[in-house]
Amino acid sequence: MRYLFSMAWHSAWNRRFTLGLTLLSIALSVTLLLGVERIRHDARQAFAQSVSGTDLVIGARTSPVQLMLYSVFHIGEATNNIHWQAYQEIAANPTVAWSIPISLGDSHRGFPVLGTHAGYFEHFHYGNRQSLTFETGKPFDGVFDTVIGSEVAASLGYHPGDHIVLTHGAGGLTGQDHNDKPFVVTGILAPTGTPVDRTVHVSLEAIEAIHLDWQGGARMPGFEIPAEYVRKFDLTPKSVTAILIGLKSRAGVFRMQRLVNDYADEPLLAVLPGVALDQLWQVVGAAEHAFLAVSAMVVVVGLCGLVAVILASLNERRRELAIIRSVGARPADIFVLLTAEGVFITLSGILLGIALLYGISAAMAPLIQGHFGIAITPRPVSLDELWLIAAIIGVSLLASLVPGYGAYRMSLADGLTPRI
């Protein structure tokens, strides 16, 4: 049997160009499949860590998914706001270590505007409890200061010191700009791969200031308060859209959640971010299975190419196989030889694919982390990936049985008799 594999190796070397292309196609297919699996896993991790270190997200009573959509991803609108007094009572609870009030509703050239206080830059975390950092500049200090996300700065070409104008609402209507009260960019946040990158951050006082001469969603006719006079007014917020809180001890999170949900003065909802994000992923993460299925089909196509190449070479190798038979090889030996050849090429393609995956992961990790917030690091093959590899080997074994069976049926006379 040993000499058979030696002859098979020399035969494969003579067909190295064709088999090399087949091996490369399998390697690329495996790289794509395992790459999609890793991105799928890491994207889910990044999605679940869009907000990290926050024990509860509080908003007006609605569904947990909707609350997370507008409070964390700034998509959609709240059913109602939270009165400022309710926020103060929640923030003053002895179990609360810190709180971040959030006010939403305005925009700037399609990007959402978020009103908050300076504690946002200290207590808001993402990923693996990573803190927000400034790429350049500093947090807002004055009423008309703003800190913008990295994507806002990159898309609109802003730098610290630039002036911008906010828009009332989503900006779909003309005449809704707060152009009488421009803001100055004081800082630009480093990329996070989260909705923070697409957000314009201002103070809660700024949200009140730009709406002093507005009522019912429209500017008061014939009445205008210049920017230099807004500090003469009480800029204490009347309400906020949502609240992020961190507790002194996570053991009290369910007690605090019940306290908020049973709040008597107004209907509120407190959700655990991790639980709500898992529910949200079930809605928006359905595409991950489609990507995995497409990658699996690519692998199947690669294996079909392998079978086609071996089958196509059978006619050219008829005399070679007949000679092998003539020196004592049994039909079963030929069957094993051709099957082993297909499996060997697949195994080589898998190893090359894993090596390519490691190289691409190392090269692309900083780019993917910076632009999409997905942390992809070279790591050992996981159990789920081992199952995928085992499935590929199993399918390749079944596929290799086809040319093996074709060679098995070749008779000695068929191989030695010249065809006219």
Q: Are residues 66 and 212 in the same domain?
A: yes
- Given this model, what pLDDT does residue 172 score? 56
Q: Are residues 302 and 341 in the same domain?
A: yes
Pairing label, strands 111-116, 200-203 = parallel
Count the domains in the chain: 2
Q: Are residues 82 and 216 in the same domain?
A: yes
φ, ψ at 41 (rounded to 5°): -65, -45
Q: Are residues 262 and 300 in the same domain?
A: no
pTM value > 0.75: no
Tokens 């609350």 belong to: 67
Q: Are residues 187 and 304 in the same domain?
A: no
- Taking the C-alpha atoms of residue 100 and residue 132, their distance in angstroms, rounded to an integer, is 14
Q: Are residues 269 and 292 in the same domain?
A: no
Q: What is the pLDDT along the chain (420 residues), one digit of tens a residue?
A: 565 666 666 666 777 777 788 788 888 888 888 887 787 777 777 677 778 889 999 999 998 889 988 999 888 888 899 999 999 999 999 999 999 999 998 999 889 999 999 999 999 998 778 899 999 999 999 899 999 999 899 889 999 999 999 988 776 555 678 888 899 999 999 988 788 999 999 999 999 999 888 776 677 777 778 888 888 888 999 999 999 999 998 888 999 999 999 998 899 999 998 888 887 777 666 666 777 777 778 777 777 777 777 666 666 666 667 767 666 767 777 777 777 777 888 888 889 988 988 888 877 777 766 566 566 667 788 787 888 888 888 888 887 777 777 766 664 445 555 554
Give the domain range for residue 308: 2-47+286-416
Question: What b/e readout covers 167-187, taking b as 16+ CB neighbours within 10 angstroms?
Answer: bbeebeeeebbbeebbbebbb
Q: Are residues 118 and 246 in the same domain?
A: yes
Q: Are residues 319 and 407 in the same domain?
A: yes
Burial of 375 (0-12, 13-18, 19+ CB in 10 A): middle
- Given this model, what pLDDT does residue 358 score? 86
- Taking the C-alpha atoms of residue 300 and residue 275, their distance in angstroms, rounded to an integer, is 36
